[in-house]
Structure 1
């Protein structure tokens, strides 16, 4: 077995483990792959295999199977987002989305949001994923404002779809978001950068950088991470790559990488984390066993 085959097999094994990695073990698991590789471009060959395998897998599914897969992804995405905010369990997320049943004994959270109001936000996310998959429009400031409004209009109408007008802080972070006076120019520059960069840099790197730049600009009072992850997945899917849900078990490393990039004004910290995490989660698409698994799904 060649070194490359051994590497792919290791990635495959890691990606198929039950995702229950404790935050303190994340760095160790990342380093098990190849501590020298930190740039998305250094994963270019493997990312190409992932893209090809994902395309084959997607083509093997019927329309109903594909719909089921996207719904499953949306539920898990909502779970990981809510879990990051210490809100809903996976089972509770599924019940909210599929049955409209709220968990019992839930207290009110920030903003006084009730479990049934959570349902509205979760359902809006599900609809947005469907929109992302079908949309023919490109990513723009108007796009993310509409996404934000769709998610929060029922629960937080005073901030839904609106750029913040007050200084924001991030609890527990050393990073201070930009002044609201800077946001208009920052957002204009962000989407000008996207327009000129999308044909020049690797799509996975583009998705990662859009995510980082959005959470760093912190344009909204609430929901910045959620919108950033939607934009990231919009870019990935539009370019034929599998979408990426960041497992809650890895969230500490995710936030550390973001903060390190923000505080040191160096995007490489987040790009290194993103490249390895994305490859681990999606390595199953790069293996030779893919066609057999696809056949079983028919």
Structure 2
């Protein structure tokens, strides 16, 4: 485990002995603060052994204080149109805890987390679209190459394709672009609909289940996608909150509905990519969360963007906040390895 990047600060009160503090610096956007914990007083500063001892017993308290400070800094650091201050506070606390916790993991632990998160994510994002593979079948297929019995080839390919989606997404380091979106779609639809894979729809006589909104005309798709991409980065550059902007981009992407099939899977890929690029944990779309996700997008159809953003914010808070607080406590010092980590070590599902 990497040590927490703390420092020792000394205060010189008038007519009193020097006071020593363990300090954690916190930064969100262009704002910064610090949290500290009193160590000792006296003319002799604490030794390295003393500091290591204090670090072990005080680091959890400091990290929780720092996370709460990060939340409060975020409220002032970012502009919002729809997210409440309380949700910004919680989301920034989550970002801080997620970054600190993943830094505390060994390489093998982090790889294990990524592997099992991806299985849950792929299961959820395909199940929303009607894929009937169970979580166990999804895991067997992705990890061991075991094809499920009595399942359609299309369903197997829908899941299998995400191996290459993940590889491309992990290797890609740039901004979201039209070409990036088309390549994601090509990979999502491989061996499913090769003629339309990576190609914008050419028909206008399609709709979205449960949505009465008029979709973007096919001849306008590239222009409208370019417009929402530019708007997203403009808003980020002007200091609007990255989570809110990712939610809004996702909604407008789904309303453009650029492809004849696969829009939901591609849209959720882009959404989580945007979160990751801004150091937020990704979302899972399982169980009740799946229903919240669908209801949230329907709120957008009625321009209820505050409520829509709150639905998404509620998902990340439920999935991440409490579990990150508790796991931080468990892993703040090098843990005794008592067994394998599970995905539930990182996220509430």
Of the candidates 250, 261, 279, which is equivalent to residue 211 of structure 1? 250
Of the candidates 45, 48, 52, which is equivalent to residue 92 of structure 2? 48
Name structure 2 gaps, 5 residues minimum. 1-63, 65-81, 338-349
Correspondence for 1:15: none
User: Do the aligned partners of residues 130 and 71 (structure 1) sit closer, same or farther apart at CA in structure 2, a change above 3 Å counting?
Assistant: farther
Stretches of 4+ moved more than 6 A in 1?
Answer: none
1:63 and 1:94 mapped to 2: Cα distance?
21
1:296 and 1:192 mapped to 2: Cα distance?
45
Correspondence for 2:307: 269
Correspondence for 1:60: 104
More helix by share: 1
Correspondence for 2:23: none
- How big is the alpha-carbon RMSD for the aligned residues of Structure 1 and Structure 2? 2.3
Correspondence for 1:222: 261
2:293 and 2:213 mapped to 1: Cα distance?
15
User: Do the aligned partners of residues 85 and 179 (structure 1) sit closer, same or farther apart at CA in structure 2, a change above 3 Å counting?
Assistant: same
Higher Rg: 2
> Are 1:78 and 2:122 matched, yes or no?
yes
- The alpha-carbon deviation at position 140 of structure 1 amounts to 1.3
2:85 and 2:200 mapped to 1: Cα distance?
33
Correspondence for 1:280: 318
Q: Is the 8 A contact 1:260 1:269 kept in 2?
A: yes
- The alpha-carbon deviation at position 237 of structure 1 amounts to 1.0
Name structure 1 gaps, 5 residues minimum. 1-7, 9-37
TM-score by length of 1: 0.77
User: More relative contact order in 1 or in 2 (CA 8 Å, sep 6+)?
Assistant: 1
Correspondence for 1:19: none
SS at 1:114's partner residue?
helix
1:289 and 1:119 mapped to 2: Cα distance?
30
Of the candidates 157, 168, 178, which is equivalent to residue 117 of structure 1? 157
- The alpha-carbon deviation at position 249 of structure 1 amounts to 2.6
- The alpha-carbon deviation at position 288 of structure 1 amounts to 6.2
Of the candidates 176, 180, 185, which is equivalent to residue 143 of structure 1? 180
Q: How does 1:1-298 map to 2 (within 5 A)?
A: 39-87=83-131, 88-106=133-151, 108=152, 113-131=153-171, 135-167=172-204, 168-199=206-237, 200-262=239-301, 264-284=302-322, 287=325, 290-293=328-331, 295-296=334-335
TM-score by length of 2: 0.67
Residues 214-258 of structure 1, C-alpha deviation per residue, up to 9 Å, x if partnerless? 111111111111111111111111111111112233322321221
Residues 49-105 of structure 1, C-alpha deviation per residue, up to 9 Å, x if partnerless? 211111111111122221111111111111001221232110111011012222111
Correspondence for 2:35: none
